[in-house]
């Protein structure tokens, strides 16, 4: 039954994707992207990947729409018409599609326990997590401890991406200087009663829920990435309601930059400290006299680092887009 | 069990209808409303499937959507507000 649901949702996903490609009005494309993300999260969830679904929910539902709209306000409303011969591109895409469909014939069935991917390291993770780390959510154990190097890499990808976006957006085109008018101050939505009341009511709960996801990641779906995105969404909600200026007074640029760098630094420092205490880089067992407790402590610390970096990066990118409005 | 299946099918049908509205338009507001509708239905679907799987702790996800969905729609509101302000300013400039 579930598999039929998943196939149905995937069909809707393909329809939405084609519609996004064909949409000429960019606002319509942004709206369809929101639906795409919702469908994607539902699909992840039905395939039992709750942690991934939560990430998609945290990023896709709020932040991407906000950032896309921010980008849209800097550009034209409609897609530029370009006459291109699409023959070569179409033939390459068709050939790749056929190849991929051919490759799926050899693929093991969905959820097949004999599939190679379930024979490699996964059984070891499942059997050793209760002994070595003793937390119920194996995904957090894999991300935080067994594959901590990969997660460190991801944090630095977020860090680098944030710096790249800020660098691109802060570049000014000198030719435009003449035509630039002083941007009208963003007043937010505080003059609208319903958004104001509902938003103020929701804001504390969003931040509280973010903290819950952050610290409950060892027991349920969630962790630093999701928590960082959810808290950033809460603060973006505040910025939308009260205007740019108030939001920047609450969380100034210097704090954001300190968060982006500090989270990554915290993660790395945990690794360095474990080295000084006689273990390998990011081997948390040495952090405490009880190796299991040391592992848990290490995971909580690095998850905090991940959350701080992601939250700071999303906020910095949001403000970079919002501040460029009308330039 | 069959109750959950029937509810899921009903929600999937509603999602399809909302998607059809989002694809067809014709006005921008139809699409905004369709996206909002689609978000609500996703929350419901996640909740139903969580119970179907017998893992109500996955309700966290539905909760995340329920809290965050609102922000996207607010951003749309703010987008139209700033666009209208822009248009008014441009009209003023042209008058001058």
| CATH code, domain with B59 | 1.10.287
Q: Closest Cα to residue A55, out of A71, A44, A70, A67?
A: A44
Alpha carbons A58 and A227: distance in angstroms, whole number: 8
Buried b (16+ CB within 10 A) or exposed e, A4-27: ebbebbeebbebbeebbeebeebb
Q: Give the model's pLDDT for residue A121.
A: 81
CA B68 to chain centre: 10
Alpha carbons B49 and B3: distance in angstroms, whole number: 11
Give how far B78 is from chain A: nearest CA, Å. Answer: 7
Q: Give the model's pLDDT for residue A155.
A: 92
Banded pLDDT at A178 (limits 50, 70, 90): very low
Respond yes or no on whether ipTM tops 0.85: yes
Q: In this predicted model, what pLDDT tens digit does every residue of A221-268 receive, in sequence order? A: 778 888 999 999 999 888 888 888 888 888 888 898 899 999 999 999
Tell me whether residue A86 is exposed, middle or buried, using C-beta atoms within 10 angstroms of its C-beta: 0 to 12, 13 to 18, 19 or more: exposed
CB contacts, 8 Å: B86 with chain A: 326
Tell me whether residue B90 is exposed, middle or buried, using C-beta atoms within 10 angstroms of its C-beta: 0 to 12, 13 to 18, 19 or more: exposed
Inter-chain contacts counted by CB atoms under 8 A, chains A and B = 146
User: A289 and A164, same structural domain?
Assistant: yes
Banded pLDDT at A16 (limits 50, 70, 90): very high
Q: What is the largest CA-CA distance in chain A?
A: 68
CB contacts, 8 Å: B49 with chain A: 2, 5, 45-46
Q: Give the model's pLDDT for residue A17.
A: 92
Residue A30 contacts residue B43 (beta carbons within 8 Å): no
Task: Flag whether A90 is in a domain.
Answer: no
Q: Give the model's pLDDT for residue A38.
A: 87
User: A290 and A216, same structural domain?
Assistant: yes
Q: In this predicted model, what pLDDT tens digit does every residue of A277-309 receive, in sequence order? A: 888 888 888 888 888 888 888 888 889 999 999
User: A153 and A68, same structural domain?
Assistant: no
Percent of chain A with pLDDT over 70: 93
Task: Flag whether A93 is in a domain.
Answer: no
Q: Looking at the 3D structure of chain A, how many domains does it have?
A: 2
Listed residues A77, A102, A124: the one ending a domain: A77
Q: Closest Cα to residue B42, out of A254, A208, A61?
A: A61
Across the interface, whether the CB atoms of B60 and A213 are under 8 A apart is answered yes
3-state secondary structure (DSSP) of residue A291:
helix
User: For an interface test with A, which of B44, B69, B78 has the most A Cβ atoms less than 10 Å from its Cβ?
Assistant: B78
Task: Flag whether A120 is in a domain.
Answer: no
Task: Flag whether A110 is in a domain.
Answer: no
User: A320 and A203, same structural domain?
Assistant: yes
CA A258, B79, A226, A279 torsion-angle sign: negative
- Scanning every residue of chain A, which has its alpha carbon at the shortest distance from the alpha carbon of B26? A28
Q: In this predicted model, what pLDDT tens digit does every residue of A76-123 receive, in sequence order? A: 777 777 777 788 888 999 999 999 999 888 888 777 778 877 788 888
Task: Flag whether A277 is in a domain.
Answer: yes
Backbone angles phi and psi of A11, in degrees to 5 = -65, -45
Task: Flag whether A231 is in a domain.
Answer: yes
In this predicted structure, the answer to whether residue B96 has a pLDDT above a threshold of 70 is no
Give how far A273 is from chain B: nearest CA, Å. Answer: 34
Percent of chain B with pLDDT over 90: 10
Helices within chain A (DSSP H only) = 2-22, 26-46, 50-58, 64-72, 87-104, 122-132, 138-141, 148-170, 193-216, 224-242, 244-250, 253-276, 291-323
User: A168 and A47, same structural domain?
Assistant: no
In this predicted structure, the answer to whether residue A175 has a pLDDT above a threshold of 90 is no
Listed residues A51, A77, A103: the one ending a domain: A77
Give how far A283 is from chain B: nearest CA, Å. Answer: 30
User: A161 and A262, same structural domain?
Assistant: yes
Q: Looking at the 3D structure of chain B, how many domains does it have?
A: 1
Q: Give the model's pLDDT for residue A172.
A: 63
Please name the helix (run of DSSP H) or strand (run of DSSP E) that holds residue B39, with its range, or none: helix B28-52
CB contacts, 8 Å: A213 with chain B: 60, 64
Across the interface, whether the CB atoms of A45 and B23 are under 8 A apart is answered no
CB contacts, 8 Å: A12 with chain B: 15-16, 19
Domain span including residue B64: 2-95
Q: Give the model's pLDDT for residue A158.
A: 92
CB contacts, 8 Å: A41 with chain B: 42, 46, 61, 65
Give how far A66 is from chain B: nearest CA, Å. Answer: 6
Across the interface, whether the CB atoms of A62 and B34 are under 8 A apart is answered no
Query: What does the block give as tokens for A314?
Result: 């999303």
In this predicted structure, the answer to whether residue A173 has a pLDDT above a threshold of 70 is no
Q: In this predicted model, what pLDDT tens digit does every residue of B22-78 receive, in sequence order? A: 888 788 888 888 888 888 898 898 888 888 888 777 788 888 888 888 888 888 888
Give how far A274 is from chain B: nearest CA, Å. Answer: 33
In this predicted structure, the answer to whether residue B89 has a pLDDT above a threshold of 50 is yes
Across residues A31-58, what is the average pLDDT?
86
Q: Give the model's pLDDT for residue A15.
A: 92
Q: For helices A26-46 and B28-52, give the axis angle rounded to 10 degrees.
A: 0
User: A292 and A160, same structural domain?
Assistant: yes
Task: Flag whether A117 is in a domain.
Answer: no
Across the interface, whether the CB atoms of A1 and B71 are under 8 A apart is answered no
User: A150 and A28, same structural domain?
Assistant: no
Task: Flag whether A89 is in a domain.
Answer: no
Give how far B49 is from chain A: nearest CA, Å. Answer: 7
User: For an interface test with B, which of A9, A61, A63, A231 has the most B Cβ atoms less than 10 Å from its Cβ?
Assistant: A61
- CA torsion, ordered A202, A207, A213, A214, to nearest 10 deg: 180
Domain span including residue A319: 135-172+187-327
Across residues A21-44, what is the average pLDDT?
88
In this predicted structure, the answer to whether residue A142 has a pLDDT above a threshold of 60 is yes
Banded pLDDT at B92 (limits 50, 70, 90): confident
Q: Give the model's pLDDT for residue A326.
A: 42
């Amino acid at each position: 039954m579930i598999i039929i649901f998943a196939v149905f949702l995937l069909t809707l996903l393909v329809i939405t994707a084609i519609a996004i490609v064909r949409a000429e009005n960019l606002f319509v494309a942004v709206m369809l992207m929101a639906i795409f993300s919702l469908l994607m999260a539902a699909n992840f969830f039905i395939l039992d990947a709750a942690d991934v679904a939560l990430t998609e929910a945290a990023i896709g539902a709020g932040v991407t729409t906000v950032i896309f709209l921010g980008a849209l306000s800097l550009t034209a409303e409609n897609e530029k018409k370009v006459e291109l011969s699409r023959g070569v591109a179409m033939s390459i895409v068709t050939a790749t599609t056929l190849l991929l469909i051919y490759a799926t014939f050899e693929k093991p069935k969905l959820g097949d326990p004999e599939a190679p991917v379930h024979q490699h390291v996964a059984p070891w993770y499942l059997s050793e997590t209760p002994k070595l780390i003793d937390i119920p959510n194996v995904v957090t154990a894999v991300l935080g401890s067994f594959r901590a190097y990969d997660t460190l890499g991801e944090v630095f990808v977020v860090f680098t991406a944030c710096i790249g976006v800020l660098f691109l957006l802060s570049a000014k085109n000198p030719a435009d200087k003449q035509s630039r008018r002083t941007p009208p101050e963003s007043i937010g939505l505080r003059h609208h009663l319903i958004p104001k009341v509902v938003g103020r009511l929701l804001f504390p709960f969003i931040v509280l829920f973010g903290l819950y996801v952050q610290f409950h990641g060892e027991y349920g779906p969630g962790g630093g990435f999701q928590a960082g995105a959810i808290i950033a969404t809460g603060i973006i909600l505040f910025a939308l309601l009260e205007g740019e200026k108030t939001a920047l007074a609450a969380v100034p640029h210097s704090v954001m930059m300190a968060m982006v760098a500090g989270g990554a630094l915290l993660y790395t420092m945990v690794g360095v400290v474990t080295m000084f205490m006689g273990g390998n880089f990011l081997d948390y067992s040495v952090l405490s006299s009880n190796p299991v407790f040391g592992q848990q402590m290490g995971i909580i610390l690095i998850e905090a680092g991940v959350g701080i970096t992601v939250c700071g990066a999303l906020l910095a990118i949001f403000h970079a887009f919002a501040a460029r409005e009308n330039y | 069990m069959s109750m959950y299946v029937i509810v899921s099918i009903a929600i999937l049908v509603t999602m399809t209808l909302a998607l059809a509205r989002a694809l067809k338009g014709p006005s921008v507001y139809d699409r905004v409303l369709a996206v909002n509708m689609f978000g609500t239905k996703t929350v419901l679907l996640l909740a139903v499937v969580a119970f179907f799987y017998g893992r109500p702790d996955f309700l966290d996800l539905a909760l995340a959507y329920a809290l965050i969905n609102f922000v996207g729609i607010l951003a749309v509101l703010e987008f139209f507000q700033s666009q209208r302000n822009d248009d008014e300013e441009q009209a003023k400039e042209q008058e001058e």
